[in-house]
Amino acid sequence: MNIEAFAIVFAIFIVAVLYSSVGHGGASGYLALMAFLAVAPEVTRPTALVLNLFVASIAALQFFRAGHFSWSLFWPFAVTSIPFAFVGGMAKLPTNVYKIVLGLVLLFAAFRLAWTFASDDGEVREPKLWICLVIGAVIGLLSGLVGVGGGIFLTPVLLLMHWSETKTAAGNSALFIFVNSAAGLAGNYVQVSILPSTAWFWILAAIAGGAIGSLLGATKFDSLTLRRVLAAVLLFASVKLIFV
C-alpha cells in the first residue's frame, strides 16, 4: 500500500470516528475526502453509501444497546424517506445547485446548535405525524440525489425542533442513515459494481472507526460534547457541499 492509499484509509477511519460519535455514517465526509484526493466522481457516490451502511449499522447498534432509540420517533420519518431515497438514487440530475442550497442549510444548523451550547436539551415535544412524513420524504429525496444517508439533515431537525434529546437523535439518525443508504444504493445499484479493489480497505477502516466513535458517542460523551462535535461536523459538511 503506497502513501496515498494509506492516507485515504487513515482519513476514512478518522471521518468514521467523528461522524459515528453523533450517530452519522459519514457520507458527506467521505465525499469531501474523495473529491479532495481526486477519486473518480462516478466512484464517490456509491462508495460513500457503501461505507455509510457499515458505519451507520454499527452506530445504530451501539446507540440502541445504550437505550438511545425511539421507534415511535423513527418510523414516521423513515416510511417516506426510504422510497424517496430510492427515487433520488435513480435520478441522474446535476447536483451543484442542491449542494449549495444544502450547504447553506447545514451552515445555519451548525451555527444554531453552537449558539445554544450553554442550554440543556430542554423539554422534548412530540412532532405531528404529517410533518414527519413530509420531512422524511424531502430528506430522502435529497439524500438519494447527493449520495448521503440523511442523518446530517435529520439530526439538526430533531434537535432544533425539540423533538428529541441529543443521544436519542443520534441513535435514530444512525438507523435512518442505514435504511436510506440501502435505498439509495438500490436505486443506483449498477455503479456499485465499479467500486475499486481498494474499497475493502476503506470498508475495514470505516468499520473500525465506526465501532470506536459510536461507542464513545453512546456511552462516554455527554450531551454538550455531542452538540459541539455535531456543530463541527455540520460546519465541515456545509463547506464541502458549497465549495467542493
pLDDT in tens, 184-194: 999 877 777 77
- Tell me if 219 sits within 8 A of 211, measured CB to CB: no
The C-alpha atoms of residue 80 and residue 203 are separated, in whole angstroms, by: 28
3-state secondary structure labels for all residues of the chain: CCHHHHHHHHHHHHHHHHHHCCCCCCHHHHHHHHHHCCCCHHHHHHHHHHHHHHHHHHHHHHHHHCCCCCHHHHHHHHHHHHHHHHHHHHCCCCCHHHHHHHHHHHHHHHHHHHHCCCCCCCCCCCCCHHHHHHHHHHHHHHHHHHCCCCHHHHHHHHHHCCCCCHHHHHHHHHHHHHHHHHHHHHHCHHHHHHCCCCHHHHHHHHHHHHHHHHHHHHHHCCHHHHHHHHHHHHHHHHHHHHHC
Question: What is the structure's pLDDT at 118?
Answer: 42
Query: Which cell goes with 212?
Result: 470506536
Q: Give the pLDDT of residue 100.
A: 80
Is residue 80 predicted with pLDDT exceeding 90? yes
CB proximity list for 122: less than 8 A, separation 6 or greater: 162
- The reported pLDDT for the residue numbered 122 is 65
For residues 74-86, average pLDDT: 96
| Local confidence band at 231 (pLDDT 50, 70, 90 cut-offs) | confident
Between 229 and 52, name the one with better pLDDT.
52
Query: Per-residue pLDDT tens for 32-68?
Result: 777 677 666 677 778 889 999 999 999 999 899 989 9
Asked if pLDDT for residue 222 goes beyond 70, the answer is no
pLDDT at 163: 93
Task: Write the pLDDT tens digit of every residue in 131-152.
Answer: 999 999 999 998 888 788 888 8
What's the pLDDT at 117? 42
Q: Which of 149, 121, 138 is nearest to 223 (CA)?
A: 121
Of the listed ranges 36-40, 70-74, 163-167, the least confidently predicted one is 36-40
Report the 10 Å Cβ neighbour count for 201.
16
pLDDT tens by residue, 81-128? 999 999 988 887 665 776 787 677 778 777 766 665 444 456 889 999
Domain ranges, ordered by start, for the chain: 3-243
pLDDT in tens, 200-215: 899 999 999 999 988 8
Distance, CA of 15 to CA of 43 (rounded, Å)? 18
